[in-house]
Structure 1
Amino acid sequence: MNMNMGGYANSHYAGIYGVPSNPAMAAGTHFKWDINVAGVNAALGNTYARFPKSLIFHPPDSLEGLKRNRDYFLDTLSTGKQFGWGNMDVMMPSFMYSLDETKSIAFVWRVRAQGNGGGMNTDVANFFANNFPNSQYNNQRFDMEVASGSFHMWNEYDLTYAQIIKDDGMHLLKGGVTLKILNGIAAGYAQVEDASFTMNSATSADIYSGTLKVGYNDGINNWKKPNTSNYKPFTGNWGLGMDIGVVYEWRAEMDGLQGYDDTDWNPEGDDYKMRLGVSITDFGGISYKKVASNTDLSLIASNINPYEIKMRKGEGWQSYYRRLQQYFTPIASDEKFRMNLPTALNVMFDYNIDARFFVNGAAVMSLNSGRYDPSKTYMVSHFTITPRYDGRHFGVYIPIDVNNHTQFDMGAGFRLGPLVIGSNTVLSNLFQKNKNRLDGFVALRLVPMRFGKTLLGCPAAQF
């Protein structure tokens, strides 16, 4: 997921948190300035395995000790493909500044990490996940068109310029662009393509076709624990990226809807009846040098022992990969790879009911989640409807979300002065015994705040 934070980023109080999903949101707001102290948005999910609530609060030291149908439950009867994802987006100290009522600039520093995996048919997932090697699958042929995994962690230094392009009183159009200086920390990918195989017995299998494509940099190769110790503010892996967006606002006559008095900065900013936004985010990528031992592999092999290609207890994945190279035929590949950002199309609709109550619709559509390139991260496409209450110093958000894996979620978020906290999944997770996704967000901002006089007849200004 991107940093939409439960519908909050599309609200007229989002300020700097509206910029990552649409840079045009920076222009023509009520905020003369806006400083982010810190913000974190994180999500984890999959379609194949569910875990009981107890595991969330008491995670195991390792996955090896988990027992099926006690510590996890698999969706073995599905007829579709299986996927997994995770991301963390940390907004470091950042600022937005309004040059005047029509033009704004922003500098946003983000530390981002994202992982994606999947594309595997459920029957193949069952083959490997259900007590592999399992004799019940003997003499069955399995076909795996594609299965992939990727991970990317990077710094992002974003410079945004936004301005109002047209304003005739009723119709307002603003545009914005963000230029990104990218600094990569760790990146890697693995993808199996066009594999077909049969397990003849517990000690013999034939692989008729298939290719394994692999690449990772030193940051992955030398990954340490705890995970936070791998963070570096500046490395030698540089890249460029860009966001671009437009926002249209319709400003009908709205008696008493203005939430600010005329002593505030830009009192007419954000006084819209309807808002529509479109943006494309995360163009670009970073080039990395592969670790010297990286090589693609032809997986064709006869009479191979399934136990030999199974990861051993306590074996690190780097050691596992080097051992696999002994059993298969190396294929020459490039010494470098380019890790693409999770490019997405964002569409947002916001309707102002009475200046305190709003309803927002937002769609995030991945533009690079196909097979064509294994070295990428990508968004989980999803659509969210968020009813919200937005007062000057207090807001409530109820995001209702469905993603492209037909998973339904409901969450809650709260804004109290400079603090925003919530989750897109907290309400739906309350009613689910076993879970396969969770998320959360928290942000602390410094913005101009006045608790003094308000205009009579402006109910939004009373809170």
Structure 2
Amino acid sequence: MKKKILFLIAVFEFIATSIVYAQFQTGISGSNNSGVLGVTINPANTNKLSNGTDIMPLFFSSSVLNNDFYLPAKPITSVIKPEIFSAFTQNEKLGGETINQKFERLFNLKRDLKTNGYIFADLSIYGPSFLTNIGPHSFGIITAFKGSLGTVGLPPDMATFLQKGLTSTDLIGKTFQLNKVKAGAIAYTDIAFNYSYKIKETFKTHQRLGVTFHYLTGINSIIFEDYGTTWTVFADTSLYFSNSSFQYNYSANKAKTIGDVLTSKGNGFSFDIGYSYAKKSKIRATRTTYCPNIKGGGRVREFQTFKWKFGISVMDIGFINFNKQTVSNSYVQSFGVAKHLDADFYRGVFALNRAFIYGLEGSSGIEGSNHIFVDNYTHFMPTRVNVQYDYHYKENWYFSFYASQRTPLSSKIPMRSPNILSLSARYETLKYEVGLPISLIEYQYPVLGLNFRIGPFMIGTNQLLEMVGLRQIKGLDFYFGFKFNISNIRGV
């Protein structure tokens, strides 16, 4: 029982986890009052209050996106329920049922296969974090646990393999290529320091430059990258590898406790850099005084109103070096036969590694395998360019545009983030706000969201129709958190 629970924790870290970081990085993160959350999309962002400090004790976000599989339209409560979890944690035997068949029975998973499939998932849990303004300077410390998965170039036959397994009649007797698919998953902790500076201010404009430095501790990692592999599925469901070149790396341990799962297996660094330009709607900042004329007890809240703001940033330039409990395998023009690879895939990284080694090196009468093994590797972060534009229409109404384009620094980096375009309308005040974002994922799949903030509490989703059962479910997204603001200037 304990092993099954730990296995589900590991699966949750890698598969059930957003880009895509921070719930698509739209919605709440792009509002004027996002404060400490704003630096997750652009390190040049800061608090709306020019004399304020934001304190965020907790923020949680998760998302799953794909274009190959979907669930029939149903409310999210019918997908995530106790019976589903108990089916994967109970001690009873499968009775001949494969894990692929169990998933299909429980979720009624359907296929809508594309030539180049994608799967993205994210989990971000921000712990105690803060951001404060002191004159032209802004300082922040952000702590977080993050897990993310990115797969691009997934061929239809491999998607069928993931869902149906090798017993699928769609695969038996078929030969297909892996389409140079790239996949990566990683779980890590992040301690970040943010600094931004008001580089120029005139009567009409305002400019900031910011940078965030991250210290990363790697917990788990998986990398699979195909350089040209051909699979043939035999009638006995064994899988023949021909002229196969691919990379398979992982860093994990056979955990007995949750503490084992979270053991550090490597360290690394990354940084973000950003710039923002704003056109003021007023020359002077707006001032609001609370509890005036109370010696040492009042607060003056000061903020600058803008007609529009523009920002651009490059995020997650960096890496983690995994060197503990780590395996890195390179196969070059290899041949072999693997049996039960679909079952080994869901049994975990160790079973899959054994299947590759025995299949490509231990196949009787088959020669030509070239296997290179090392005990460390570098997992590069999913670098991307973010662009933001926010227009103040009138009074408390705003319209915003957001874009995120993955920008891998090398074609050999398998970890990727999704491409996202988003338009949003929102009604925003210091005390509350409501937003309605429309996002386009990978330039092909539109989703509608809803978010709101009341005082310190914020909650939302970018996939509202899927959550309430009005649309086929190709992904889910949900986030919530708490953020408090205090003013730094006392009244007199």
- Above 0.5 in TM-score? yes
Give CA deviations for 1:376-406 in whole Å, capped at 9, x if unaligned. Answer: x322110111100001201001111111151
Inter-partner Cα distance in structure 2 for 1:178 and 1:143: 41
C-alpha deviation, 1:8, in angstroms: 1.7
Alpha-carbon shift at residue 22 of structure 1 (Å): 1.0
SS in 2 for 1:324: helix
* Residue number among 98, 110, 115 corresponding to 1:74 in the alignment: 110
Query: What CA distance in whole angstroms lies between the structure 1 residues aligned with 2:464 and 2:203?
Result: 41
How many angstroms apart in 1 are the aligned matches of 2:161 and 2:37?
44
Matches within 5 A, 1:10-29: 10-26=30-46, 29=49
Q: Which has the higher helix share?
A: 2
Distance 2:256 2:332 in 1: 30
- Using the TM superposition, give the Cα deviation of residue 149 of structure 1 relative to its aligned residue in structure 2, in angstroms: 2.8
Tell which deviates more after alignment, 402-411 or 384-393: 402-411
Q: CA deviation at 1:298?
A: 4.7
Give the alignment partner of residue 454 of structure 2, picking from 410, 416, 432: 416
- Structure 1 gaps of 5+ residues are 451-463
Distance 1:183 1:260 in 2: 43
- Paired residue for 1:174? 208
Q: Which residue of 2 aligns with 1:190?
A: 224
| Counterpart Cα distance in 2 of 1:169 and 1:338 | 48
1:372 aligns with 2:412: yes
CA distance in 2, matches of 1:124, 1:278: 36
Change (3 A) 1:426 1:254: farther
Q: SS in structure 2 opposite 1:386?
A: strand
Q: Structure 2: how far apart are the matches of 1:334 and 1:66?
A: 36
Between the aligned partners of 1:258 and 1:99, the Cα distance in structure 2 is 17
**162-171 vs 187-196, which deviates more?**
187-196
1:287-366 to structure 2, matched below 5 A, reads 287-289=321-323, 291=325, 294-298=328-332, 300-301=334-335, 304=337, 307-311=339-343, 315-328=347-360, 329=369, 331-366=371-406
TM-aligned CA distance change 1:57 to 1:386, over 3 Å:
farther
Partner of 2:9: none
Relative distance call for 1:71 and 1:107 in structure 2 (3 A) is closer
Change (3 A) 1:135 1:381: closer
* 2:449 corresponds to 1:381: no
- Taking structure 2 as the reference length, the TM-score comes to 0.80
Q: What is the rounded CA distance, in whole Å, between the counterparts of 1:314 and 1:412 in structure 2?
A: 35
Given that residues 104 and 161 in structure 1 are in contact (C-alpha distance below 8 angstroms), is that contact kept between their aligned partners in structure 2? yes
Which of 37, 56, 65 is the equivalent residue of 2:57?
37
Partner residue in 1 for 2:261: 230
Secondary structure of the 1:26 match is: coil
Distance 1:28 1:126 in 2: 49
Q: Is the 8 A contact 1:215 1:291 kept in 2?
A: no
What is aligned with 2:3? none
* 1:314 CA displacement: 8.0
Change (3 A) 1:276 1:158: same
Which runs of structure 2 are paired with 1:208-247 in the superposition (5 Å)? 208-217=242-251, 220-223=252-255, 230-231=261-262, 235=264, 237-247=266-276
Distance 2:133 2:322 in 1: 37
Deviation at 1:335, TM superposition (A): 2.9
State the AA in 2 paired with 1:39: F
Partner residue of 1:85 out of 120, 125, 137: 120
**1:8 aligns to what SS in structure 2?**
helix
In structure 1, C-alpha distance between the alignment counterparts of 2:61 and 2:237, rounded to whole Å? 46
Q: Is the 8 A contact 1:259 1:392 kept in 2?
A: no
Shift of 1:318: 1.3
1:56 is aligned to 2:90: no
SS of equivalent residue, structure 2 residue 71: strand
With over 3 angstroms needed to count, the CA separation of the structure-2 counterparts of 1:426 and 1:229, relative to structure 1, is farther
Q: Which moved more, 1:413-422 or 1:130-139?
A: 130-139
Q: CA deviation at 1:25?
A: 0.9
1:160-189 residue CA offsets vs partner (Å, 9 max, x unmatched): 111211111101111111112222222221
Aligned match of 1:8: 28
Code of the aligned partner of 1:413: N
Report % sequence identity: 18
**Equivalent-residue separation in structure 2 for 1:105 and 1:42 (angstroms):** 26
**Number of paired residues?**
437
Q: Deviation at 1:330?
A: 5.2
Report matched runs for 1:105-144 at 5 Å.
105-126=139-160, 129-130=163-164, 132-135=166-169, 137=171, 139-144=173-178
1:222 corresponds to which letter in structure 2? K
Q: Which residue of 1 aligns with 2:11?
A: none
SS in 1 for 2:413: coil
Question: Which amino acid letter does the alignment assign opposite residue 380 of structure 1?
Answer: P
How many angstroms does 1:265 deviate by?
4.7
1:94 alignment partner AA: S
TM-score of the superposed pair, with normalisation by structure 1: 0.84
Structure 1 distance, partners of 2:187, 2:52, is 33
175-184 or 424-433: bigger deviation: 424-433
Q: Quote the Cα distance in structure 1 between the aligned partners of 2:345 and 2:119.
A: 23
Q: What whole-Å deviation, never above 9, does each CA across 1:268-326 have from its counterpart, x for those lacking one?
A: x3411010011111111110116466533357436x4x644342598444123213311
> Which position in structure 2 is the counterpart of 1:458?
none
Post-superposition offset of 1:157:
1.2
Q: Which runs of 5+ in 2 are unaligned?
A: 1-19, 89-98, 293-298, 361-368
Aligned to 1:454: none
* DSSP-derived class of the 1:158 partner: strand
CA deviations over 1:400-435 (Å, ceiling 9, x no partner): 111115111111111101111111112354353531
Contact 1:35–1:446 (CA<8 Å) still a contact in 2? yes
C-alpha distance in structure 2 between counterparts of 1:409 and 1:444, whole Å: 25
